[in-house]
Amino acid sequence: MKLLIFNGSPREGNTVEALKALYEGLADYPDIEVQEIKAADAHIIPCEGCDACMRSGDCIFEDDSIEINKLVKEADFLLFATPVYWWGVTAQLKLVMDKFYACHEEFMKCPKKVGTIVIGEAGLYDPQYEIIEKQFWCICDYLGWDKVFSKSYSANKPTDLHEQTESLAEIKGLAEIIHESR
């Protein structure tokens, strides 16, 4: 099973901490092949909506989205882990996601499971978590992908999530859910 993780945070903070907990859980499942993409490190030229990809199948810009979309096609499970920036996902992650457009017809033919981990400063009462969950679930419905879980956590300073032992235990446990989702 191939798990592709998207890390939407540009810093070493709560998302990295969440992923550390997930990796701890994944250590129990050596049959899961993991690859992580840090969106902030990817060289992505923003989609210009020229639609050339709809004719050729490729973006006219030769950026990292070509390799990333290939990895998406090959993956069985996509995990999106992102901080909340202005009630949405980070711009770094959104740049990557916009480029899915170039391959969306192919993606519709590749069944995938999807999970999300979203971390914001505001408490879980804030509508931002539902807004982001709905965004991902609409994308999944459109592409015919299966939604497996969406988890939200409230943390702000880079070390905040590190103090939340229950949250980290829950995230570690997501490894089993990913494994059993096959």
Ligand X SMILES: Cc1cc2nc3c(=O)[nH]c(=O)nc-3n(C[C@H](O)[C@H](O)[C@H](O)COP(=O)(O)O)c2cc1C
Residue 100 parent element (H or E): none
Burial, 39: exposed, middle or buried (Cβ in 10 Å; 0-12, 13-18, 19+)?
buried
Alpha-carbon distance 78 to 112, whole Å? 7
In the set 65, 69, 92, 128, which binds ligand X (CB under 6 A)?
A: 128
- Answer for which of 122, 131, 139, 177 binds ligand X (CB under 6 A) is 122
Number of H helices, E strands in the chain: 7, 5
Query: In this chain, which of 46, 51, 87, 182 binds ligand X, going by CB under 6 A?
Result: 87
| Shortest reach from residue 107's CB to ligand X, in Å | 26
Q: Which stretch binds ligand X (CB under 6 A): 35-43, 84-92, 95-103, 164-172?
A: 84-92
**Per-residue x/- track, 5-44, ligand X (CB under 6 A):** ----x-x-xxx-----------------------------
Closest CA to 9 of 127, 161, 164, 173: 161
Rounded CA separation 160/162 (Å): 5
Q: Which residue is it, tokens 């999807």?
A: 114
| Residue of the chain from 73, 137, 158, 181 that contacts ligand X (CB under 6 A) | 158
Nearer to ligand X by C-beta: 143 or 155?
155
* Residue number of the CB atom closest to ligand X: 13
C-beta of residue 2 within 8 angstroms of C-beta of residue 76: yes
Of 107 and 153, the one with the shorter C-beta distance to ligand X is 153
Please state, as a whole number, how many other Cβ atoms lie within 10 Å of the Cβ of residue 51: 10
CB of 153 to ligand X, least distance (A): 8
Residue 152 binds to ligand X (criterion: CB under 6 A): no
Site for ligand X (CB under 6 A): which residue of 56, 86, 109, 166?
Answer: 86
